[in-house]
Amino acid sequence: MNWLRNKLKGYRTILVNTLLTVMPILEMTELLSVLPDGWQNWYAIAMAVINLWLRSITTTPMGKKL
């Protein structure tokens, strides 16, 4: 798993946030009902917490490998 972590270094936060954004977009376009009713607020909070956690452990500038 370390090889994957090292391979994605500099792109992890971008990748995770992009993936987390897909679900609300699907919900907004009504293409797919992914989240149960009433879960949107909890999902938004979880996205923010995950993003804060990733930013706290980030040691590499965006898109750079050291």
Q: Give the domain ranges of the chain.
A: 2-57
Instruction: Check the CA dihedral 36-37-38-40 and report its sign.
Output: positive
Model confidence over 2-19: pLDDT tens digits? 888 777 777 888 888 888
- The answer to whether the beta carbons of residues 43 and 36 sit under 8 Å apart is no
Confidence of residue 65 (pLDDT cuts 50, 70, 90): low
How confident is the model at residue 47, as a pLDDT?
A: 87
